[in-house]
Chains A and B, each alone.
Chain A
């Protein structure tokens, strides 16, 4: 199966919370990331979490990590139309491995 899996689409109403989910397979992952990509643009690092943490909050963003289930989620509070983009989950595996392995991305559509 896929190393990093995400659902492909999510649609939410403006002002609601969005929750984007990701599962990964490598238990030795050291860092887990969320990137945002707007149409025609590069990848913007939104946030990342070290694997010994359960949660990280940064303004409207909350990352939850369930290491037992290898599940990562990104919650965006008070979702705005400017949040419409593709969100990529990625993992960095094990000591000495610095490359990132990406999911295929979740396209978030915000309905005004």
Chain B
């Protein structure tokens, strides 16, 4: 099993550009989520999904969109990148009725 796979690992964007961070899991998990990790702030929840076709906002959703057309994939879209979105982004997944929550290796995004 690959687990939770995120691509790309690194990305540099110019202010105003758009891009999509990819997240895929092969464990048939219902729940998927996106976090950002910033120095001194810990991990904060951006968006989450409890199943295909269902998404909801987390703590810091502004500037980000998500969709969940399949169980496996949960892409995160930055519509118009800003320097404040420079961060490390983590995707996570889990079953709804079990405790184990697994994280991808992260995408390090720099917006200049």
Contacts and interface: CB of A to CB of B under 8 A. Distances in A.
Interface of A: 30-31, 33, 35, 41-45, 48, 50, 88, 92, 98-100, 102-105
B48 A88 contact: no
For the complex, would chain A's binding face be called helix, strand, loop or mixed by DSSP majority? Answer: strand
Contacts of B106: 41-42
Contacts of A42: 90, 103-106
Contacts of B42: 88, 102-105
28 contacts: A31-B99, A33-B99, A35-B103, A41-B105, A41-B106, A42-B103, A42-B105, A42-B106, A43-B43, A43-B90, A45-B100, A45-B102, A88-B42, A88-B43, A92-B99, A92-B101, A98-B33, A98-B94, A98-B96, A99-B45, A100-B43, A100-B45, A100-B92, A100-B101, A102-B42, A103-B42, A104-B41, A105-B42
Contact of A99 (B48, B99, B100): B48
Contact size range, B: 20 to 34
Contacts of B101: 33, 45, 48, 92, 100
A45 B102 CA distance: 7
A78 B83 CA distance: 43
